[in-house]
Structure formats: structure tokens, C-alpha cells
Structure 1
């Protein structure tokens, strides 16, 4: 996201690049122009290093990156197909999962192939200046939509846990559609400024880099990452706090229930001549206590599961994207607005670490969702028929077991 940089091949001329291979890395820079005729600012100030890969290295790197892109496509396609085909999964809250999967699928299908080609050339952009703007727009739009959707999912989970009686009633397909539309509109607000003249992207021969304008960098990184990350952390803290409070309450009621059972048992043993009506009243009271306790246990388990799921999501998201966005925020202040002085190998490593989040999202949700796991298994085995019937049978079985 946000960067694909490189430098052009050497050619003759006073302002053309000079190249030298040092320690296996091709370092290229530009000669200054004639006296009194300053060359372009990028050429004069930037001395970037292209990565010089041998044929075996290109084959290994290309195969590895292609596998990442292919698995990302397959995993997110499974989410879209599962929610679309299975009635049990066709719930308003799962529409957010579809939006997340579409964003991650777009990253894999429309962005990763061009990044792979650029990486195999050592960091040199080969697709021209016009497509550079289109590529950066697609990259920023899809990655931002993925991150913002994760943020909205955390808010949705928090409201579902803290307002179990009122929120599910108001949680409709129309509300989810509005939230998804808002996510993509905010993503567009970051994508469009370079097309509207506020902050132009850097695209010269062999270089394709998102605008390094100071104001735009702060705005784009804050909206695309820092604010969503803060919201997700707050939601996780609140859900975790609610789960701990519910856990303490559950332990207390569990203790009280055991005390009540012991009391009832001792009274029954002591009063063998208790009338049938008294026995019936005691049984009704005990039944109510047990029913209330089952409900408390169910709420407690749901809160614990939500806290665990969101904790894993936030942790993976932070590990994947935080290093890249720290680099993106600091780069214009370190390198200037027309140059990327960061080593290409570091840029590319952190970029692919961020893309890995799109790979892991569908598998994280499947790990914590039994219905998604079951649907994945059926789809991968080409067992398309009777998926809905099998899931319904599993749900009834689980309900009877509880």
C-alpha cells in the first residue's frame, strides 16, 4: 500500500543515471546538469538502491509471493460464497465480513500482481505514469476499506455484547448497507485527493510513489490506520472489561447456585414428611435458578468468545500494519516530499507484512466460527448439495447437547 518505487536504467547524458554494483546491490544516482541548469529535484536528490536478484532468487520470491496472493484470493472467495450460499450465515452482521472479504480479495487480485512484478525487477516500476495513479488509487482504496471494515466489525461486536436486547433488533440489512457504504466513501476520500490536485503522486521514470505531501500523509495515515486502530483498541478493552465483569458475576452466581442446591437437598433430607405441594414449590424455584444460570453462562461464553476473537483480530492487524504505517508517516519528514530514501528491501518487506493481513482475515474468522469452518470444508470438498440442511442439523445437535 502507498509505495512502489525504483529508478530507471542507466543511459548516456549529463543528467542520466550512473550505476554501480556494491555488495550485490545496484546503486543508481543522477549526475547534476550543466552549470546554471539544475536537473529535476528527484534526480538530483535521490540515490535509491535497486535490489539485484539472481534467477534462483527470483523464482523463489516469485513463487512465494504468488502463493500468498493465490491463498488470499481463495480464502476471501470462500467467505463471499459461504455467506451468499448458506442461509444460516446470511445474517446482517456477516454482511460486514463480505465487505471485508471483497476488500481483501480486491487487494489480492488487483494490487498484488503488479507489486509482485515490481518486486521481481528489484523495485523498478514498469507500467508507466498513467497506470501509476490508477494503481495507487486501487491500493489505497482496497487496503483502507479492509482496515475500516475491521474497525466497524469491532464496533458491531461491542454493541452486540453490551446491548444484547436492543441492538439485535435495530441491526438490519439496511443498517449494515449504510455502514459498508460509509466505509467505502471514507476510503474514497483518501484515494481521490491526488486525482483532484491536492497532493500529486510521484511518478517519474521507474518510480511510482504515493504523494509525500506532509498534510496529505498525516491525513491519509490517520484516517486509514491510526484512528481505526485506536477505535479497535478501545472496543477490545471495553469488551474485555465486560467479559471480566460477567466472569466475576458468573462465578458468584455459580457459588450461590451450589449453596442453594445444598440447602434444598439438606432440607429435603431433614423434612422427609414434606407435603407434595411444598416439594413442587421447591422444584419450581430450583428450576428457575437453573434456567437463569444457563442464560448467564450463555452470555458469559458469548462475551468471552467475542473478547478472544477481537483480541486476535486486533493483535494480528497491529502486527501486520503498524510497522508499515510508522514508516509511511515518517518518510516525508525524513526524506522530503519528492524522494524515498528508505531502503527498498525494507519498504517491500513491511508492505507485504501489511498485505498478509488480507490473507489471514478469512482464516481468523473461520477459526472462531464453527459454521464458517463447516462451510469452508464442504466447499473445498465440492460438497455443494445440502449444505444448509447439514448446518441446520449441526445446530440442532449442538442445542440439544447444551
Structure 2
């Protein structure tokens, strides 16, 4: 029985007085939404405010943070509403909106990570041509492609009516073609491309580490690029760990004789959403300049003077 429901005169309805378990679920998920929103807002403010962070790579990170922020602001409330009320209110509209935002922002995130892996490939494997091939204009085009494709997919889900979830079933895309072909092109194929690129980067970085005989400054630059690549590879790794279980589930569910329990689908969906909350913590843990920026923003120091050109 759903923790937020009760039986009244043999009818199953939303409890007028929520149980303790229901309140704990609601408060916990609301807290996750708040942390996701605030964490990504810190990343966005940091990259926009501090001039030192105005690089093509950080532009992509900024755009990725915007996608994660929208997950906290848009997807989390819809998902909380479904988790707590089990899609009682306007179930078809709620499911459509939830799926549209969820799939669009998920697609946006993985496309951003694809372009970030390309950025890292040129930074580590082709450092002499990096500034020519990856500049602000190229980064802007990458960002436009990410959001353009994502918005089109989000609109297609609503217009095509793929979301047919009901309260008895799963509030998720329920079309065989969408459940199999969608993940292949929006998740598995990009994931394989990213893994291949990062494997190539790892091999080149290992080769560089063994053969560096240049100046100290050249070695330092190379070391910084490899560290940045390692951090962004961890971001991608966390992304895959959070999303792979859900995509495996929805791909193999149509092939199973029994439907996956709703509680399992919900748990896996929340695991995918948690990725948007984790990225800012990864940046803060691995990047000293993001830690410095976060401290200055949280303490309110940036409001006490002009620190745009500060050395982080």
C-alpha cells in the first residue's frame, strides 16, 4: 500500500492526514530538490561572475549546470507530485509534462557530456591546435545543438503523445519503439562514444606522462589538463552509474512477462535525478577554483567589493 494513501469505506484514496513515512518521503525529496537547485546555482554564478572561469570548457559546464538546475526546479516537483500522490491529479497531463522535461533535460545532459569529452580530447591529445579548434564560438554552437535537440525531443513527446502512464501503471513513456530505440540513440550510443573518447584520452595522457621532457611550465600545463580531464571523466562516470540502471530497466521491461513494480521504477527514476544534485559536489571536491568561488559566494564576499578578476 502506498504510504501516502489510506483505505476508507473500501476505497483507496489519498490520506487527509499524511503518515510519518509519507511526510519523510515528501520532506526528503523536497530537500534533494533544494540542494540540486542551490548547488547548480553556485556553479552558474561562479562561471558567470569570475573572469578566470570564462573558458570554452567552463561554458559547457555552465550550460550543463543550467540543465541540472532545471531538473531541480521543474522535474523534481513533478516527480515529487507523482511519487507522493501516485499521479492522482490530472494523471495524463502530469505524466506528459514530467516525461517531456525529464527526457529533454536528460538528453541535454548527455549531449553536453559528449561535447565536453570532445573538448577534453583536443585539450589533451591535440594541445597545439586546441585554442584554434575549441573557442568561444565553437562552444556556443555546441551549446545551441545540445538545447536545440533537447527541446525538439521534449516537444515531440508531448505532441506524439508517447506518455500514456496511468495510476495503476508507470508514469513513463510506454511505447515499445520509444522504450527501445529512444535509449539506444539518446543514451547508449552517446555513452559508447564518450567512453571511447575518454579511453583514447587516457592512453594519450599515459603516454604524455612517460615522455614529458619539456620545460617545467609545459609539464605543469599538461598536468593541469590531465587533472581537468580526470575530473570531467568522473562527472561522466557518475552520470553513467546514475542513469544506466534506469535505461536497462526500460529497455528490458517490454521483453519481460511481468511488469516492473512501480516502486522499482520510481527508485531508479530518482537515482537518475540524483545525478543533477551530485555534479556541483564533484566540481567542489576536485576543483580548487570552484571551491574558492563557492566560498566567496556563500560568504557573501562578492557583494562587498569587485572580485571579478580575483585569482581563484
CA RMSD of aligned residues (A): 2.9
Structural mapping, 1:296-307, within 5 Å: 296-307=218-229
Distance 1:205 1:367, change over 3 A: closer
- Asked whether the 8 Å contact 2:87–2:94 carries over to 1, the reply is no
Deviates more, 1:216-225 or 1:323-332: 216-225
Give distance in 2, aligned partners of 1:69 and 1:239.
Answer: 34
The match for 1:388 is 308
Q: Sort the Cα spacing of 1:71 and 1:194 in 2 relative to 1 into closer, same or farther, 3 A.
A: closer
* Compared CA separation, residues 79 and 160, structure 1 to 2 (3 A): same
Residue 314 (str. 1) matches residue 227 (str. 2): no
Unpaired runs of at least 5, structure 1: 1-7, 13-17, 20-25, 29-49, 254-291, 395-402
Conserved? CA contact 1:202–1:211, under 8 Å: yes
What SS does structure 2 have at the residue aligned with 1:247? helix
Match of 2:247 among 310, 325, 331: 325
2:53 paired with 1:89: yes
2:187 corresponding residue in structure 1: 225
2:64 counterpart residue number: 100
Deviation at residue 112 of structure 1 after TM alignment: 0.5
Shift in Å, 1:10: 9.6
CA contact (8 A) 1:145 1:187 kept: yes
For the structure 1 residues 192 and 117, does the alpha-carbon distance in structure 2 shift closer, same or farther, using more than 3 Å as the test?
Answer: closer
Taking a change above 3 Å as real, the CA distance of residues 106 and 125 of structure 1, as seen in their structure-2 partners, is farther
8 Å Cα contact 1:79-1:101 kept in structure 2 = yes
Cα deviation, residue 196, structure 1? 4.0
C-alpha contact 1:129 1:208 (8 A) present in aligned 2: no
Question: Are the counterparts in 1 of residues 36 and 72 from structure 2 also a CA contact under 8 Å?
Answer: yes
Matched residue of 1:235: which SS? helix
Select the residue among 356, 363, 374 that pairs with 2:281. Answer: 363
Residues in 2 aligned to 1:150 and 1:307: alpha-carbon distance in whole angstroms:
12
Show the counterpart of 1:201: 163
Contact 1:242 1:303 in 2 (8 A): no
> How far 1:220 sits from its partner (Å)?
1.6
Which residue in the other structure is 2:200 paired with? 238
Q: Which has the larger radius of gyration?
A: 1
Tell me the TM-score normalised to structure 1 length: 0.69
CA–CA separation in structure 2 for the residues paired with 1:72 and 1:174: 29
Shift of 1:210: 3.5
1:144 alignment partner, SS class: helix
Query: Alpha-carbon deviation of 1:208?
Result: 6.4
Q: Structure 2 vs 1, CA of residues 327 and 367 (structure 1 numbering), >3 Å: closer, same or farther?
A: same
Normalised by the length of structure 2, the TM-score is: 0.87
Q: Does residue 310 of structure 2 align to residue 348 of structure 1?
A: no
* Cα separation, partners in 2 of 1:182 and 1:9, compared to 1, 3 Å: farther
C-alpha contact (below 8 Å) 2:107/2:150 kept by paired residues? yes
Q: Distance in 1 between matches of 2:7 and 2:22?
A: 22
Provide closer, same or farther for how the CA distance between residues 78 and 178 of structure 1 changes in structure 2, counting only shifts above 3 A.
Answer: same
Residue of 25, 30, 34 corresponding to 1:61:
25
1:128: Cα distance to partner?
Answer: 3.8
> How far did 1:73 drift?
0.2
1:215 paired with 2:215, answer no
Q: Equivalent residue of 1:211, what SS?
A: coil
Moved more, 368-377 or 130-139: 130-139
1:54/1:119 CA distance change after superposition, 3 Å: same
Q: SS of the residue aligned with 1:387?
A: coil
Tell me how far apart the structure 1 counterparts of residues 264 and 95 of structure 2 sit (CA, whole Å): 21
CA distance in 1, matches of 2:169, 2:104: 20
1:140-151 equivalent positions in 2, closer than 5 A: 140-151=103-114
Taking structure 1 as reference, are residues 303 and 99 closer, same or farther at Cα in structure 2, changes over 3 Å only? Answer: closer
